Structure 1
């Protein structure tokens, strides 16, 4: 079990509407991630599902049952927060089993569930330690273990890795992915980290000002953004977007050349990912550019270039490059990887 349905869900704080009529179905066992800029409503929406925020309008259903007005304890969900919130005077075993103890569960049952969760999370050697003796990643695993022992219908994660350093975030991403595979339980996860969203999610929900901008698999959102907002939010570096005109089966770039266009309606913006641009001599490809900055990252190099009448763009080059700031190149776009957008910012099929 663990199917969750949102029907025209709204959240108002006095006269301010934060969630603006969200409709969405989360399938049983699915890993769904909410992403979006700060203030878009992703944490508020998660807290509404968990019952920590009231729902102003609309319905929230869990396995077909309306839980809109039910308290958190009646929803069968569990939440993992950014803060570990562990009891410092308790051992790992006591922290993980505390909710079962307060619910009056027998000691044998508590021990069995804690041992099972510890095995899944590789915490067996740490059950007698206290939180101060653990690393940040281990503490977060204890917080997750505390949720696992409750055998919830679904897990809700509110930016659980944001307090960890870069290396621990990578480790914990792997742990959470493996956890989902082992438990096969519905998980809803809020993050501002695109890498977490792209690597963990079955589907991503991109929120913009309290509304859903697009829902899809990581590949769908990356390769076929529905609008300019998603195109420039998903991906690091973000998609290059430059002004264009379309006429007579061709597109034209300001200060550049262009190429064939088969869109269903006129477009005013062209989008291309950094890795879908090839470098050539001046005069080749769709537009010429001047190298502004070269950022060597080891496996690849990001070239920030200046375009005539089109601002900046980023080009991803595998490995290193001999190109240096001030040099001029031609940019050739992969014609099969272009995105076009109309005056309203919506993607134009082509």
Structure 2
């Protein structure tokens, strides 16, 4: 295991700055996920930690030593890519053991480490198969096994599940979570899927245009977003953001009603599950049911609330409501989020 520390890290491609002074400490044994929209710099930052991209400015400290100028082979890290990159002519056994064979490790030691990796990843029945005979999830486990046998100081994952279908993604999320529990190793994982981030991470790093927007546990980011970007990125469906005004310690939703607030709020945030439906004229705002999205256990109601805009409400899956119904929406007063004109949480 190893701790990894980034100190004022920057990355420039010519005159374009893509990583803009990142400071971050990843503790030993911690599972940290970089998340954000496409182009935010999360994969570039991971590749800088791995040594696959040069660091323009700043320092990368791995296990207490300055590794900024070290080549990837000296950093003691193992990287699992989006592409499995398996050798098609080799068996699973040979693919997993290949890094050790290349390093000149004795065959007995290779066999022992491959057997242990296969046990951890449940690959024992497939050791003599070739990659073409495996499913996508099994191939990804082989790629992870190839990293495990190297006994790295930390694991780096670059969107490893993006090539899998929905059911396999769920299965592999479970496998990776169990792997972290078993190995208790430091892991850094990049994804654009905030569901993966919420379900796997000890801490999430939300990136926006090459800067850290917020760092925290999944619950901290969900319950206490630091700004509008995090509020709308974390959560599925995303937080409702409504225009509002404030005066004399009271807020008023555009086209609706309000309540007490401290600070100069111009945006009100409320999550879909924190809204209660009632008769028209009750609550903070009235709306007309526009669309129903039935998902089995849950139904998402999308309301047209006039000046307040579109509001999504999560309710129990069984409902008699239909498009065109008019209702009042009451917001849980303990679950309101207010944001200032510059997008920061109040």
Structure 1 residue corresponding to 2:271, chosen from 270, 273, 280: 273
CA-atom RMSD in angstroms:
0.6
**Residue 260 (structure 1) shift:** 1.7
1:125 equivalenced with 2:125 (yes/no) = yes
Question: Are the counterparts in 2 of residues 140 and 160 from structure 1 also a CA contact under 8 Å?
Answer: yes
With normalisation by structure 1, the TM-score equals: 0.98
Q: Deviations over 1:279-299 (max 9, x none)?
A: 001011111001000000001
Partner residue, 2:45: 45
CA–CA separation in structure 2 for the residues paired with 1:194 and 1:13: 27
With normalisation by structure 2, the TM-score equals: 0.99
**Residue 310 (structure 1) shift:** 1.4
Q: Deviations over 1:160-202 (max 9, x none)?
A: 0000000000000000000000000000000011110000000
| Matches for 1:311-350 after TM superposition, within 5 Å | 311-348=309-346
CA–CA separation in structure 2 for the residues paired with 1:292 and 1:259: 26
| Number of residue pairs the alignment of both structures matches | 346
Partner residue, 2:6: 6
Partner residue, 1:292: 290
CA–CA separation in structure 2 for the residues paired with 1:118 and 1:192: 29
- Moved segments of 4+, more than 3 Å: none
Partner residue, 1:184: 184
Question: Are the counterparts in 2 of residues 156 and 189 from structure 1 also a CA contact under 8 Å?
Answer: yes
**Residue 12 (structure 1) shift:** 0.2
CA–CA separation in structure 2 for the residues paired with 1:315 and 1:245: 22
Partner residue, 1:104: 104
Question: Are the counterparts in 2 of residues 244 and 253 from structure 1 also a CA contact under 8 Å?
Answer: yes
| Matches for 1:141-290 after TM superposition, within 5 Å | 141-261=141-261, 263=262, 265-290=263-288
CA–CA separation in structure 1 for the residues paired with 2:64 and 2:294: 52
SS at the partner of 1:32? strand
5+ long unaligned stretches in structure 2:
none
Partner residue, 2:80: 80
SS at the partner of 1:332? strand
Structure 1 residue corresponding to 2:300, chosen from 299, 302, 307: 302
Question: Are the counterparts in 2 of residues 256 and 308 from structure 1 also a CA contact under 8 Å?
Answer: no
SS at the partner of 1:309? helix
Q: Deviations over 1:230-261 (max 9, x none)?
A: 00011111100011111222110111011122
CA–CA separation in structure 2 for the residues paired with 1:103 and 1:257: 69
CA–CA separation in structure 1 for the residues paired with 2:277 and 2:320: 12
Q: Deviations over 1:126-167 (max 9, x none)?
A: 100100111100000000000000000000000000000000
Partner residue, 1:19: 19
CA–CA separation in structure 1 for the residues paired with 2:336 and 2:63: 41
**Residue 308 (structure 1) shift:** 2.1
Q: Deviations over 1:55-99 (max 9, x none)?
A: 000000001100000000000001000000000000000000000
CA–CA separation in structure 2 for the residues paired with 1:320 and 1:236: 20
